Amino acid sequence: MQRNDSYLPTALVSPGELPTIEPAEEQPEGTHQPALPEGFASLFHDLRTPLHSILASVELLEGDLGPPSEAVCKHLARIRRAGDGLSSLIDRILLHARLDTGKIPVGQELILLPDLVQRVADIVGPLATERGLLMQASSPAAVYFTSDSGMIEQILLNLLGNAIKYTQVGGISLSCALRGSEVEFKVSDFGLGISEEHLDKVFDPFWRVPGSQKFANGIGLGLSLVHGLVTLLGGTVEVQSQLGAGTTFWIRLPTG
- pLDDT tens digits for range 108-167: 999 999 999 999 999 899 889 988 999 999 999 889 999 999 889 989 988 998 899 888
Find out whether 17 and 81 touch, Cβ atoms under 8 Å.
yes
Judged against a pLDDT cut of 50, whether residue 12 lies above it is answered with no
Distance CA 218, CA 208 (A): 8
Cα distance between residue 174 and residue 164, in whole Å: 12
Query: Could you tell me which residues come within 8 angstroms of residue 244 by beta carbon, excluding any fewer than 6 positions away?
Result: 192, 193
Percent of the chain scoring above 90 in pLDDT? 29
pLDDT, mean of residues 1-30: 42
125 vs 93: which has the higher pLDDT: 125
Q: How confident is the model at residue 236 (pLDDT cuts 50, 70, 90)?
A: very high
pLDDT tens-digit map of 181-219: 999 999 999 888 888 888 888 888 766 766 655 555 666
Number of helices and strands in the chain (H, E): 5, 7
**Quick one: angle between helices 70-101 and 40-64, nearest 10?**
150
Is 182 in contact with 146 (CB distance < 8 Å)?
A: no
- Which pLDDT does position 71 carry in this prediction? 76
In 3D space, the residue among 221, 205, 191 whose CA is nearest the CA of residue 131 turns out to be: 191
Taking Cα atoms as reference points, which of 175, 26, 169, 192 lies closest to residue 114?
175
Average predicted confidence (pLDDT) for the chain: 76
